[in-house]
Chains A and B, each alone.
Chain A
Amino acid sequence: MAAPITAKGNLAAVPRPAAARRKAGGKWGIFIRGAILPALILALWQLFSATGFISKQLFSSPLLILNQYVELTRSGELPHHLRVSIVRAGLGFVLGASCGLILGMLVGMYRRFEETVNPTVQMLRTVPLLAITPLFIMWFGFGELSKVLLIALGAFFPLYVNTFLGVRTVDAKLFDVARALEFTRLRQMVRLVLPAALPNILLGIRLSLSLAWMCLVVAELLGADTGIGYMINDARSFMQTDIVFVGITIFALVGKLSDSIVKVLEARLLRWQDSYKG
């Protein structure tokens, strides 16, 4: 339990030993610790490639990739593919995640609903996405619809499962409080269940985002004429390893970026939590 504070001013800044220790290195300290390993790998890669120890054709090199980045950006090719991919992933994620959130809440709050819907969803969850892909292509064609739906399907499950779990971890005693204060059904949902389940929901969003991103690659590799996945596939058939690497690193960067955004959201929204921070 946190010690009660007595002074008026320092409510926000209750010092914790772990936080104090972290502060010693500062934000840059954290960044540098995280960057050591990637930097080392890049340096070795460049060295091996430049000395001819590994084939430039097959493995490329950091400088060549960087060069390709500049060129593709200048030609407008990269921004174009990236925009298409982000729109696809974004649409699919919003569709799948909102379905997952709503259904997860309902299943969590109403036992009847759980008994009716959950077994089916759990069964569908075990079907590998790759197995469904051909069906989606047959039904919805090679257009945008099949891609967005495939991504939505991928994004649906993690958020559904985690929202469901989050609702079930809400302290039952707080429902008595909500009853005594005469919360309406809607208020109970918005003011009690949603905030209490938020830690799990945010975790679900992070997992959903990364899965949406993964499904995007599957959808674009299987058949597309735009997007980062297409760019990779196209470059592969011409043995343009640099471009393949550009695509892969773009996936990594955007994936990390979206994850970081949710993490910032987590830090802001879960300020009230009193859990161990390492």
Chain B
Amino acid sequence: MTAGPVLAINCVSKTFHGEQGATHVLDTLDLTVHDGDFTTIIGPSGCGKSTLLKIIAGLDQDFQGEVLLKGKAVTKPSQEKGFIFQEHRLFPWLNVENNIAADLSLRDPDVRRRVDDLIRLVKLGGFEKAYPRQLSGGMSQRVAIARALLRKPEVLLLDEPFGALDAFTRGHMQEALLDIWQTNRTSMVLVTHDIDEAVFLSTRVVVMDARPGRIKAIVPIDLPYPRKRTGRSFTELRTLVLEKLEHHDEQEAYSI
């Protein structure tokens, strides 16, 4: 794994002006992601973790501070930042291979070859010609991941991508994602509210606090892959992350 920040988030703040006045969604937040990292951002709902991801992606440009991707400021969405939404968001009128290619032509031999490689990587061989309506949720999400990877992103941003899947499929998808990460070495930033998922996948877990959204703790997870969910060190780290998360709630209980 080579070091060097792929992503630098410096002093990012965002204020949402609603009917009840201003809400600080994010408050002077700093975070660095190194090349090849698997970073997971976890926190209670409303802590601004999805907003942060949208800001990194350039989909949300209404914020203070700066986001640097490989040293360059992010000002708009680009293919260097692959984004996986909560829902698969495939084009319903395109079949699997055309969805992956999207605006690129499959007649281009280079695109063709890379699409075929990706279909193999996300294990969708045999479904090239299927339409999204014929796919299960997990399969659709894998197509979405392949679509992002085809653009060779510097970083893959995943916004609770497995939240809508059943527990069984979620487990499979987590393993598939690890597989992709280990094969491609693409840096990953995953937003989730599933502690188990965070500890199972990432090299470090960023724990966020709500109102205002800020980073409370960063827990490095230095367990070897593949990880066993039932192992003792896994359980310990899981508990540690949980403690960091709940720390906030006690404080809040005091303040009330």
Which A residues contact B (CB, under 8 angstroms)? 1-2, 4-5, 8, 11-12, 14, 173-174, 176-177, 179-183, 187, 191-192, 195-196, 198, 271-274
Contacts and interface: CB of A to CB of B under 8 A. Distances in A.
Nearest to B126: A8
A174 B92 CA distance: 10
Contact of A191 (B81, B83, B102, B131): B102
Nearest to A195: B93
Nearest to A181: B102
Interface in B57-92: 57, 59, 76-79, 81-83, 85, 87, 89, 91-92
A198 B92 CA distance: 12
B87 A173 contact: yes
Contacts of B81: 180
Q: Which DSSP category, helix, strand, loop or mixed, fits chain A's interface?
A: loop
Contacts, number: 70
Given A2-B133, A11-B127, A176 B93 contact: no
A173 B134 contact: no
Nearest to A274: B133
B240 interface: no
A176 B59 contact: yes
Nearest to A14: B134
B77 A4 contact: no
A182 B77 contact: yes
B56 to A, nearest CB: 12
B136 interface: yes
A181 B135 contact: no
27 contacts: A1-B133, A2-B133, A2-B134, A4-B134, A5-B134, A173-B89, A176-B59, A176-B85, A177-B91, A179-B59, A179-B76, A180-B57, A180-B77, A180-B82, A180-B83, A181-B102, A182-B79, A183-B102, A191-B102, A191-B103, A195-B91, A195-B93, A196-B91, A272-B93, A272-B95, A272-B132, A274-B133
B91 A173 contact: no
B77 A198 contact: no
Contacts of A272: 92-95, 131-133
Given A176-B89, A177-B89, A183 B103 contact: yes
Given A8-B126, A180-B57, A187 B92 contact: no
A180 B59 contact: yes
A173 B93 contact: no
A193 to B, nearest CB: 11
A2 B76 CA distance: 36
B207 interface: no
Nearest to A11: B130
Contacts of A12: 129
Interface string B99-113: 000110000000000
B55 interface: no
Residue of B76, B92, B132 with most partner-chain A CB within 10 A: B92
Contact of A174 (B91, B95, B103, B126): B91
